[in-house]
A = this chain, B = another copy of it.
Amino acid sequence: MIPESFPCELVAWDHAVRLSRALAAEVKAADYRPDLVIAIGRGGYVPARIVCDRLLLDTLTSIKIEHWGTAARKKEKAVVRYPLATDVGDLSVLIVDDVTDTGETLEHAVAYVEKEGAREVRTGVLQHKRTSSYDPDYYAEYLAGWRWVVYPWALHEDLVGFTEKVLADEGLTMAEIRAALARRYEIHANEDEVAEALADLLALGKAVEEEGDRYRQGHEWEGG
């Protein structure tokens, strides 16, 4: 269950680019020159592409790691959804993701890439959270206080999710929805962005429009 309220940080594009460049600078400062960069999908795609640019590396590939959990299990289980598409035998590798949250993703990725025979595996993220049980080799920023980070390449998806959370049985106006996003999640999104999230929620049947430009929770036919 997602709690009723927690702090979020919206990262703007220019800040995400600065963090990505700072991550590349860390790797360079350590004199690590990987044979292969592996982006973890989907969050690592943009950071990894920028790191490759800054380090003049052409060899970029990706893997996708997903998490599965049940109500009975507190800790989710990481699984490789899309595996490596190339032989990493005897290569030095840099695995790139956006953030360490629990650290589970990177820990699983490292174990997987090592098992596949890489000679050396190092990891880099934009933001490393204190809550992570795994310490990446490189990061651009350390987050001592926990918060949910909304990266610009996930802004729409995250806004759809948060907007769904603030909708209630009684209709809310756009202004009330934006106020609730700010109060509960510290998300200050502009009206266009919230309108786009609402449009998708309406199309998905997760929101209903009422007269007076008010929106309330949709009750989907399936589930309950």
A residues in contact (CB < 8 Å) with B:
13-14, 17, 39, 41-42, 45-46, 48-50, 52-54, 56, 58, 60-64, 81-86, 152-157, 160, 200
Contacts and interface: CB of A to CB of B under 8 A. Distances in A.
The complex is assembled from copies of this chain, and their number is 2
Nearest to A56: B157
A49 B56 contact: no
7 contacts: A39-B45, A41-B62, A45-B46, A45-B48, A45-B60, A46-B49, A60-B64
A201 to B, nearest CB: 10
A42 B63 contact: no
Contact of A84 (B14, B63, B85): B85
A31 B133 CA distance: 42
Contact of A42 (B58, B81, B86, B157): B58
Contact of A153 (B53, B63, B84, B154): B53
B13 A153 contact: no
A63 B85 contact: yes
Nearest to A17: B13
Given A41-B60, A53-B155, 16 more contacts: A13-B13, A13-B17, A41-B61, A45-B46, A45-B48, A45-B60, A45-B62, A46-B153, A50-B153, A53-B153, A53-B154, A53-B156, A53-B157, A54-B156, A61-B64, A62-B85
